[in-house]
Amino acid sequence: MERREFIVGIDLGSSKIAAVAGVKDTLGFITVLAVEQEPSGGCIRRGCVYNVEEAAGKIKRVINKLENKLSPNKIAKVYVGIGGQSLRSVDHRVSVDFGGENVITQAIVQSLETEARQYQPEMLELLDVVYPCYEINGKPERTPIGVMASEIAVDYKLIVARPSLKRNIARAVTEKAGYRIAGYFVSPLALADFTLTENEKDLGCALIDFGAGTTTLSIYKGGVLRHMIVIPFGGQLLTKDITHLNVVEAEAEQIKIRSGRMGGLTDQVDQLIAGAGQDLKLSDLSAVVDARVNELIENIIGQIDKSGFYRSLNSGIVLAGEASSLRGLAVALVQKAGCNVRVADSRNISEGNNGEVHSMAYLQALSIMALGKENCGDEAKAIPPPVSGPPVPPPVSPGTNKKRKERPEKKGPGLFGKFKEGIGNITNNLFDNVEEEE
């Protein structure tokens, strides 16, 4: 491979660290050059870097493996996603009263955003200010610039998290592993930009990212983010539940992947699980899976209900994350939520020799890479490619220089149905007593 410019995105997940290197053309079409991953091994918990030293070593290993595929290129910096249990959105309004008619200019809109970015929530760090909703003289307005108004108010979504979330990433990636951070992106926002269509955001949809340590819910309506919450349940919790069937955790993970599914197996009550090290019945596994995943689905639906948008998701639900590959999950969501469900995929991608990039394992890292702009290669470390052809003559005078293609919309029923009796009684204090492990 010749020396070239490229962008690197890294997803620091609870089960793995995934990295993608690629290039973008002027239309935003992506060509993936290389992908790699490394198991997290417990150094990242619920999306937060827990053991900085161990995380740094794993980051080094995944980048070294990526560099082997990019040879002779070397990596100097990376774009990193920020997720984790403490991540959430909060509402914040800024306004100005002109005392008379005034033309709304770009400078006025920019000054309001600057004011919003100066807001510091108590005990939290402001990561991003996104998706403004404008009101001109008390009425909604999508494009305020150029409009005459006596007052303007803007409702922003502030993305906040505990300060340790970003600080520990910097310690692991830069201080310990030795790579510069080209930029931070809020992982759920990057994933939504990469996987959702504009029509889905406008008509209303819920993006559910089923991760190993957490499940992130993002709700869009009218083209903007309306609600974001991180639920402290993920695929690893289901794995731990399966260990109660007298199997070790590593075997429980493989059983979950091979044989786990939603929906009872009443016609196979005595069938044993193939490859399991003991007499483990499919019916026993199904009971464990159904109990835990139904609990998660009920909490997701409860959060959608709490947001006030459960009847407005006309584009339904979009599933992402490796845990979303559990068989029967989409069907269970359709039945319980009463709307259409689709699985997120990679769009506008040319994978070259990397067909595995279309697996859910790399979707988050790919969405981070897609937002990057700076070259992440290290020109100082790159080995020049061999020169072919006749030698280039020296200069005459030393010291002088010669002068995205949108995916088609999928039609579906798109109407959020009525919830079953009892959904409204979901526990409201789910998150009150859960402490983030740091």
- Per-residue pLDDT tens for 99-128? 999 999 999 999 999 999 999 888 999 999
Distance of CA 111 to the CA centre of its chain: 29
SS3 106: helix
Q: What average pLDDT does range 74-95 have in this prediction?
A: 95
CA distance 333 to 323: 14
Model confidence, pTM: 0.82
Q: Is 318 left (phi over 0), alpha (psi -120 to 50) or beta?
A: beta
CA distance 312 to 208: 16
Distance of CA 371 to the CA centre of its chain: 12
| pLDDT score, position 134 | 95
pLDDT at 420 > cutoff 90? no
**For 241-295, what is each residue's pLDDT tens digit?**
999 988 889 899 998 988 888 875 555 556 767 655 567 888 888 899 999 999 9
CA distance 192 to 66: 25
| pLDDT score, position 41 | 82
pLDDT at 389 > cutoff 50? no
CA distance 338 to 430: 23
| pLDDT score, position 176 | 96
| Residues above pLDDT 70, as percent of the chain | 81
| pLDDT score, position 61 | 97
| pLDDT score, position 423 | 39
SS3 383: coil
Task: Work out the angle between the directed axes of helices 363-371 and 187-195 (0-180°, nearest 10).
Answer: 90
Task: Please give the single-letter amino acid code of residue 152.
Answer: I
Instruction: List the beta bridge partners of residue 342.
Output: 318
Report yes or no: 55 and 44 within 8 Å, Cβ to Cβ.
yes
Instruction: List the beta bridge partners of residue 35.
Output: 20
pLDDT at 317 > cutoff 80? yes
| pLDDT score, position 262 | 84
Average confidence score pLDDT of the chain: 84
CA distance 286 to 151: 58
Using pLDDT thresholds of 50, 70 and 90, give the confidence band for residue 8: very high
**Tokens for 193?**
């930009």
Domains along the chain? 7-85+164-196+346-371 (3.30.420.40), 88-161 (3.30.1490.110), 198-344+410-425 (3.30.420.40)
More confident: 426 or 149:
149
CA distance 152 to 150: 7
pLDDT at 418 > cutoff 80? no
Report yes or no: 128 and 156 within 8 Å, Cβ to Cβ.
no
**Tokens for 258?**
């091979």
pLDDT at 236 > cutoff 80? yes
Residues, the chain: 438
| pLDDT score, position 126 | 95
**Tokens for 365?**
């890292």
Name the burial class of residue 431, with classes exposed (0-12), middle (13-18) and buried (19+) by CB atoms within 10 angstroms of its CB: middle
Using pLDDT thresholds of 50, 70 and 90, give the confidence band for residue 387: very low
Report yes or no: 218 and 188 within 8 Å, Cβ to Cβ.
yes
Ramachandran angles phi, psi of 82, nearest 5°: -115, 120
CA angle, 393 as apex, 392 and 397 as ends, to 5°?
135
| pLDDT score, position 352 | 57
CB atoms within 10 A of CB 1: 12
CB atoms within 10 A of CB 234: 27
